[in-house]
Structure 1
Amino acid sequence: MFLQAQIFNNPGSNHGNKFEQLGTLITDPNIFRTASGAPGAMYWQQKADYVIDVDIDDENQLLKGSETVTYFNNSPDPLSYLWLQLDDNEHADDAENKRFDESSLRARMSVEQLNKLVPAEKGYGVNIKKVVDAAGKELPYTINYTMMRIDLIMPLKPGSKFVFKIDWDLKINNRIEEGGRAGYEYFAKDANYLYTIAQWYPRMAVYSDFQGWQNKQFTGRGEFALVFGDYKVNITVPADHIVGSTGECQNYPNVLTAQQLARWRQSQVADEPIEIVTLEEARDAMTKKSKAKKTWIYEAKNVRDFAFVSSRRLIWDAMKVREGIENNQPMAMSYYGPEAYPLYRRYSTKVVAHTLKVYSKYTISYPYPVAISVEAANGMEYPMICFNYGRADEFGTYSEATKYGMIGVIIHEVGHNFFPMIVNSDERQWTWMDEGLNTFVQYLTEQEWEKDYPSRRGPAHKITDYMKLPKDQLEPIMTNSENIVQFGPNAYAKPATALNILRETVMGRTLFDFAFKEYAKRWAFKHPTPADFFRTMEDASAVDLDWFWRGWFFGTDAVDISLDNVVSYRMNFHPEKIQQQNKMEYEEDLNNISRQRNLAEHMEYLVDKDTSLLDFYNKWDRFEVTPKQKKEYDDFYSKLSNQEKEIVDGKIAFYELTFSNRGGLVMPIIVEWNYTDGTKEIDNVPAYIWRKNENQVQKVFAKRKDVKFIRIDPYRETADVDENNNTWPRQYQSSRFELFRQQQSARGESVGDNPMREAQIRQQ
């Protein structure tokens, strides 16, 4: 789907733009995708089943594979060729992503930095050995960087399936040196490898109703668009390796020791994680290093991908999630090395279980039988398995930042089981539909872990530093993955913040939670687009959100609402009060500088010298209340309601507030009234106040108490980038330099040495 630049219906005007419907900014509804945001009556999607044999050569870090793919054409279109992804080609010596980025020299550079500028021949990438059909007949194919096209002898008709086989191998890359999502990590102290194997087999690309083949190249950033299917994978590794994988193992009795198998069965009923492979067993395997091999057999149903971990240096613990997930009791499991034991043994599996429960509450019940967290010094997600970080130091201690960083990344990566492993959006095109939605639910999950959990993304005020950047450093959330400059803020933090604002401030929790859950239910195991999400959120809530999507997702404006002026009005209708006011105004009018100086000089006035000039009006009290005036007032007052009497008596004050939209992004106005008696009150003005003037508005409020000062956005819930113009009278914030001097380190940050290690030293 190609999206046009933001279109204004009334350019140059102060209204008629920000509240117009999305119109041409999103795709039109059709028989495949309805105007409500639900799948249409003719919705379809392809399916691909895999049977794979894979062998890991631990001596040479080589992967050998053979797969049989059964591809089902459920589309209404005949297909004359098929596209597959060869994502590991991003590591090839001539990879496009190694050539298209800018590079430069600086006055000071390290050998490592300079070495990266020298082309290297490492031999990475997918080496296709054979492509044949079910009868063994060779199929012509063409490889274009990370995509492979298989040309069919006869078009694959709608409703038909095609079976083909591929043999290949690839050199497993050192992901610590090379980077990337998968590969191996080498531990020099014990001369062992940790293999995190992902993007490792030729995978079917998505063919969809909204874009045909998704064959946009993989350059290392924009992640994956994948097809659901069933997998059977036979994983052959050294006999002392432990394998954790997508799916369920079919032959534990053949690959585990009797003690390990007994512990596995115990974990099915235990309330705490059980070590199936113990720390001692892992350390023993690290030194003996078997030369024999074993095959682990895994099967997975209705998944979009398959990944696994293999190493002899893994501890493995597990527990069944027995409550909190409707109609399912999945196994929560963790695999980790000795260096991660102090953190992972205590936290990882319980974090996995907690994540499944909270995500199930806000989306759909977790449907798979397993969820796995692997400590691998990175963060990446696949169906039922994810790779995370979190290692202690050599003394078994860790910083607070490491602890909460580890918990956060486990929640995030396990949460990806829901977005995009189940709600299967196209990450290559729209990173935010994967990372942004997941980061939002990650925030909800973190907040249910601990009252004061130090979440980095979600609270509105944490996105303001990004949103106030110059426009040439920003792009809309609706930007292709490869074109984003600041990936984290744009694809993770800003959409997560926007959704939290929708939930807490714009829609309210009840409406938002129902609509968000409806989106997950509608598009579970399907391929949604942004339009499907936008439409579903409105369809299920009866809240017009087009203005919100325009501003937050299609634009780069910031929130900066300024409280520019406050005028107070109080009724003064009683005759005596009116006359008192008249007297004050009369005296003020006379009280000019000339009169003051005349009085100071004791000027003699003529009427004082010649009293014959004095008449009625020199003695008349012009401000006296007459009986007629009093009667008229009493008659008027007797006919008033109680509230009208309060107004007339001056017990209700009217405050006219003037607001300006300095940032450009329209938002609700949240006004906090601080009264002289020490109490507070909040008024919420919907964003629609800006619909007739997007630049400046006025609003009158009636109050029965005397106001001391006024603040807008008191709980920092709208992401206002300049809080210095949020109060009346103005109350300026301290500078960052002053704040740095005043505060201690924030919770969740590691400042200086490891506090846990320091305490340990003091006790020695």
Structure 2
Amino acid sequence: MRVNKIFLCLFVLFSAGWQSASAQTPAGYDQHAVFSPLFYTQNGNEFRSASGAPGPQYWQNRADYDIQVTLDTARHRISGSVQIRYTNNSPDTLPFIWLQLDQNIYREDSRASATSVVTGGRFINRSFTKGYEISRVSLVQNGRSYEADYQVTDTRMKIQLPQVMKAGGGAVTVKISYAFDIPHYGTDRMGRLETRHGWIYEIAQWYPRMAVYDDVLGWNNIPYMGASEFYLDYGDFTYEITAPADMVVAGSGELVNPSQVLSANQANRLARARVSDHTVTIRDSTEIITPTDNRKGNLTWRFNCKNTRDVAWAASRAFIWDAARINLPGGKKALAQSVYPVESAGLNAWSRSTEYVKGCIELYSEKWFPYTYPVATNVAGIVGGMEYPGIVFCSARARTNGLWGVTNHEFGHNWFPMIVGSNERKYAWMDEGFNTFINSLATRAFNNGEYHKPQQVAKAAPNLFAPGTDGIMNTPDVIQARQLGNMAYFKPAVALTLLRNHVLGPERFDEAFRAYIHRWAFRHPTPWDFFHTMENVAGEDLGWFWRGWFLHTWKLDQAVKEVKYADNDTTRGALITIENREQMAMPVVVAVKESSGKTDTVKLPAEIWQRGGTWTFRVSTTTPVTEVVIDPDGDFPDIDRANNTWIKM
């Protein structure tokens, strides 16, 4: 009986203590939700390790392409054929395959057109085409040829195979003959721009492409509706562009027949550019206005691009063309080049483009992972900013810091998602957010910070945490258009910056982030692979961080509650109490100023909020505290900065 009374007393005491602690927690905060141990929903397996690395049985399928097309400038039309060799490396047999027909987005009866808002926007069709006009689909499987049994549904094509494709290396070759009209404005991803000296064609999503079959979803068949980008397998590409002889064609990968398409002078200048750290002009404005190369008819430009997920190209008779050498780690070299119309030339505009291309690629290659393509081409045209392997499309109107910004951003995409092949249809933040994050570091470093402008993240809090805001972990087509910039680009970049600067520190963060890139280069990571890698390599449990920033729309509000003194003696140290008034938990940086003029900065980890939403810490002071400020540098997006400061009255 005596034992029971002891337990009863202890229970009452503990209950009273718990109630007291709970009473101190602000109503908007629950530490149990933030620091719940049940963050990961499944264990690692043979395909994807719990450490965040590919597992010992990781696999992905492969798609190799051979494409031949002709550009008809009179009709603004592409026609030709693609041959795809698709290899099934999965452990599953495949009775059918799926392809992406992205040009079908431009049909008037497309799903994208039906779901577009009447007020318009960046990814809305402004005119319509017939999409892909497919004249024939045939197959070769196990040495036999077949006419394909296929069905087109909006932007997807399903081909029923004559024989089940074997697991672990079975293959099929698909050949498709097709044509399409080039849209004038292709949802800001492709299109054509009329200039004084001719049309500029920026051509992308220009051939039927294999959908991805993976160990996560099987076939990935989200339709292409504009905002969501792409998810593609890797392979080798050979492709040929036949165009009028007076045009310059620039494409992903390496031009393999320069002697057949370039004049002797252009070939010599290109050779000089390959060994020059300064921009060399290959084709200048005088050659556009008064051509010296009088070849007639058509020329065929041939390109190779290896171990890539896609290719794109541009063509125009209006192009100025310049180039310079890119210096890569280990003594490797690549070529930076730009093509742009006369209207875009000038040292405050596109005449510095190649310098920008060279600068950002060298920075990213040194810090994160070496650039993998032989050429990097910046194209001026109608597209505001869009990325493809080894080639990007940027606005012909871009100038000075705007041109640096869009060039830096679009080429940053050659790391995310061209090298690290995440699923853009589902997770825009895994390419746009990561890329925006590395862009900020490159801008700080480029040309001694020529275009770097320090920004206080604190000012962005109203936009990041606005009422009704969509969360980061949504597909781009679900995120409202007005919020896409914040949720796909800016908020994840802010999260990574804070993770680097205030949670892990630059050294641990950079090591883990590089490990993620190296582990998943030319593979298909999920968000959980990223989360696992960062935690395992950096040595930190970050479930609370991923919850607050990526899985929920929680807000951050840190506040100074009160200042007292040990034994009520100002010479024996101050006891400062702070609060976490909203659901997001983050580290706390506190600046403390004394009447003597002494200042101190205290940095507290996020784990102080494991005990509740109120925390008291001691600062060794010898005179009265006159001011306490949370986040004095404005690094954190706190929604109510009015309560961040305590001043002695």
TM-score (norm 2): 0.90
Contact 1:362/1:516 (<8 A) preserved = no
Cα distance in 1 for partners of 2:293, 2:183 equals 25
Give the letter aligned to residue 197 of structure 1.
I
2:155 matched residue in structure 1: 146
Cα distance in 2 for partners of 1:88, 1:79 equals 26
Matched, 1:329 2:333: yes
Q: CA deviation at 1:312?
A: 0.5
| Candidates 227, 241, 247, aligned match of 2:233 | 227
1:62 matched residue in structure 2: 77
Matched, 1:174 2:174: no
2:53 matched residue in structure 1: 38
Matched, 1:654 2:649: no
1:133 matched residue in structure 2: 139
Trace 1:16-415 onto structure 2 (pairs within 5 A).
Answer: 16-24=32-40, 26-103=41-118, 122-134=128-140, 136-158=145-167, 159-175=169-185, 179-187=187-195, 189-190=196-197, 192-285=198-291, 292-322=297-327, 324-342=328-346, 343-377=348-382, 378-391=384-397, 402-415=399-412
Give the 3 Å change call, closer, same or farther, for CA 454–715 of structure 1 in structure 2: farther
Contact 2:263/2:293 (<8 A) preserved = no
Cα distance in 2 for partners of 1:457, 1:222 equals 31
What percent of counterpart residues are identical?
A: 37
Gaps of 5+ in 1: 1-10, 105-112, 393-401, 573-649, 732-764
Give the letter aligned to residue 426 of structure 1.
N
Q: CA deviation at 1:283?
A: 2.9
Contact 1:47/1:73 (<8 A) preserved = yes
Trace 1:627-666 onto structure 2 (pairs within 5 A).
Answer: 652-666=571-585
1:559 matched residue in structure 2: 556
Q: CA deviation at 1:453?
A: 5.5
2:493 matched residue in structure 1: 496
Deviations 1:490-532 (A, max 9, x none): 0000000000001111110010000000000000010000000
Contact 1:459/1:500 (<8 A) preserved = no
1:137 alignment partner, SS class: strand
Q: CA deviation at 1:103?
A: 3.6
Give the 3 Å change call, closer, same or farther, for CA 256–121 of structure 1 in structure 2: closer
Matched, 1:696 2:609: no
Q: CA deviation at 1:475?
A: 1.9
Contact 2:199/2:316 (<8 A) preserved = yes
Give the letter aligned to residue 294 of structure 1.
L
Contact 1:330/1:370 (<8 A) preserved = yes
1:687 matched residue in structure 2: 606
Trace 1:721-736 onto structure 2 (pairs within 5 A).
Answer: 721-729=639-647
Give the letter aligned to residue 96 of structure 1.
R
Q: CA deviation at 1:677?
A: 4.0
Cα distance in 1 for partners of 2:393, 2:478 equals 26
Q: CA deviation at 1:454?
A: 5.6
Cα distance in 2 for partners of 1:541, 1:66 equals 48
Give the 3 Å change call, closer, same or farther, for CA 12–279 of structure 1 in structure 2: closer
Give the 3 Å change call, closer, same or farther, for CA 436–684 of structure 1 in structure 2: same
Give the 3 Å change call, closer, same or farther, for CA 718–730 of structure 1 in structure 2: farther
Give the letter aligned to residue 561 of structure 1.
Q
Contact 2:29/2:581 (<8 A) preserved = no
Cα distance in 1 for partners of 2:306, 2:77 equals 27
Cα distance in 2 for partners of 1:66, 1:269 equals 36
Cα distance in 2 for partners of 1:433, 1:553 equals 11
Give the 3 Å change call, closer, same or farther, for CA 268–86 of structure 1 in structure 2: same
1:718 matched residue in structure 2: 636
Give the letter aligned to residue 615 of structure 2.
V
Cα distance in 1 for partners of 2:70, 2:438 equals 37
Give the letter aligned to residue 147 of structure 1.
R
1:532 alignment partner, SS class: helix
Contact 1:328/1:367 (<8 A) preserved = no
Cα distance in 2 for partners of 1:662, 1:166 equals 60
TM-score (norm 1): 0.77
Q: CA deviation at 1:443?
A: 0.7
Q: CA deviation at 1:326?
A: 3.1
Q: CA deviation at 1:457?
A: 10
Deviations 1:556-612 (A, max 9, x none): 11211011211133676xxxxxxxxxxxxxxxxxxxxxxxxxxxxxxxxxxxxxxxx
Cα distance in 1 for partners of 2:29, 2:350 equals 61
Q: CA deviation at 1:328?
A: 2.2
Give the letter aligned to residue 163 of structure 1.
T
Deviations 1:264-299 (A, max 9, x none): 1111211201111112112335x9997611000000
1:549 matched residue in structure 2: 546
Contact 1:352/1:411 (<8 A) preserved = yes
Q: CA deviation at 1:455?
A: 5.7
Contact 1:458/1:496 (<8 A) preserved = no
Give the letter aligned to residue 164 of structure 2.
P
Contact 2:127/2:184 (<8 A) preserved = no
Q: Give the length in aligned residue pairs.
A: 613
Contact 2:591/2:629 (<8 A) preserved = yes
Deviates more, 1:458-467 or 1:560-569: 458-467
Trace 1:534-683 onto structure 2 (pairs within 5 A).
Answer: 534-569=531-566, 652-683=571-602
Give the 3 Å change call, closer, same or farther, for CA 13–568 of structure 1 in structure 2: closer
2:133 alignment partner, SS class: strand
Deviations 1:83-112 (A, max 9, x none): 1100111101111111123447xxxxxxxx
Deviations 1:614-661 (A, max 9, x none): xxxxxxxxxxxxxxxxxxxxxxxxxxxxxxxxxxxx7x4322222222
Cα distance in 2 for partners of 1:121, 1:355 equals 35
Matched, 1:515 2:530: no
Give the 3 Å change call, closer, same or farther, for CA 457–242 of structure 1 in structure 2: farther
Cα distance in 2 for partners of 1:661, 1:508 equals 22
Give the 3 Å change call, closer, same or farther, for CA 198–289 of structure 1 in structure 2: farther
Contact 1:245/1:309 (<8 A) preserved = yes
Cα distance in 2 for partners of 1:533, 1:94 equals 38
Q: Which has the larger radius of gyration?
A: 1
Matched, 1:421 2:418: yes
1:583 matched residue in structure 2: none
Higher strand share: 2
Give the 3 Å change call, closer, same or farther, for CA 122–570 of structure 1 in structure 2: closer
Contact 1:458/1:497 (<8 A) preserved = no
Q: CA deviation at 1:699?
A: 2.1
1:23 alignment partner, SS class: coil
2:336 alignment partner, SS class: strand
Cα distance in 2 for partners of 1:316, 1:340 equals 12
Give the 3 Å change call, closer, same or farther, for CA 288–465 of structure 1 in structure 2: farther
2:6 matched residue in structure 1: none
Gaps of 5+ in 2: 1-26
Give the 3 Å change call, closer, same or farther, for CA 29–531 of structure 1 in structure 2: same
1:476 matched residue in structure 2: 471
Deviations 1:436-468 (A, max 9, x none): 001100111011125555668985335312123
Cα distance in 1 for partners of 2:386, 2:129 equals 24
The structure with higher relative contact order (CA 8 Å, sep 6+) is 2
Deviates more, 1:414-423 or 1:696-705: 696-705
Cα distance in 2 for partners of 1:670, 1:327 equals 43
